[in-house]
Copies of this chain bind each other. A is one copy, B any other.
Amino acid sequence: MSVLDYSAYPFTREQLVQNVKQRMSEKRFKHVLGVEKACIELAQRYGVNPTKASIAGLTHDYAKECSDKVFEQTIRNYNLDPQLLKWGNNILHGVVGQYIVKEELHLVDEAILHAIEVHTTGDKQMTTLEKVLYVADYIEENRVFPGVTKARELAKQDLDETVCFETKQTLSFLVEKKSPIYPKTLVTYNYYVALKQ
């Protein structure tokens, strides 16, 4: 991957890949590699630094298999809102996971860390890197669900439109399942729906 230049980071890509691989199941690792690939493609299409996109893709699920105990401890260490715990792993692995990535990988690039933070919820006014990771996580080549083909097509044309589509689909899916919805997901929805209308 000759477009990548890891020289400013405290690891090579190979070291990072090995580290990430040890933290998760084979299936999740395959997903992570798919997200990295989609991140780099989207980064090149939308003018984002591909190395940042690669690192964001490789690290976004770094904390996904952490125990609740680890999340609890991290919330205490960083003085985060204890109420976060009630939202479960889907929210915790991004919102709290960014601190675990920072600590364990010595990654201090705030642009990447914030992309990890919001990768499942989105946010209003995301940076292009944040949008790239948010969308890549949804469309990477291993994903199979209704709408993924449309999302992949949209992602080639309009990143904000893809963010809007993805957020709308995610909200519908959660409501259908009667799952709780994290307030920031609604913030993302309201912002990108208004933007694309």
Contact = CB atoms under 8 A, between A and B. Distances in A.
A193 B176 contact: no
Interface in A174-197: 175-176, 178-181, 183, 186, 189-190, 193-194, 197
A150 to B, nearest CB: 15
A12 interface: no
B171 A175 contact: yes
Interface size class of A (residues with CB under 8 A): 10 to 19
A197 B178 contact: yes
A168 interface: yes
Given A183-B183, A186-B183, A175 B172 contact: yes
A180 B178 CA distance: 19
A28 to B, nearest CB: 27
A181 B176 CA distance: 16
B181 A190 contact: yes
Which of A171, A186, A197 gathers most chain B CB within 10 Å?
A: A186
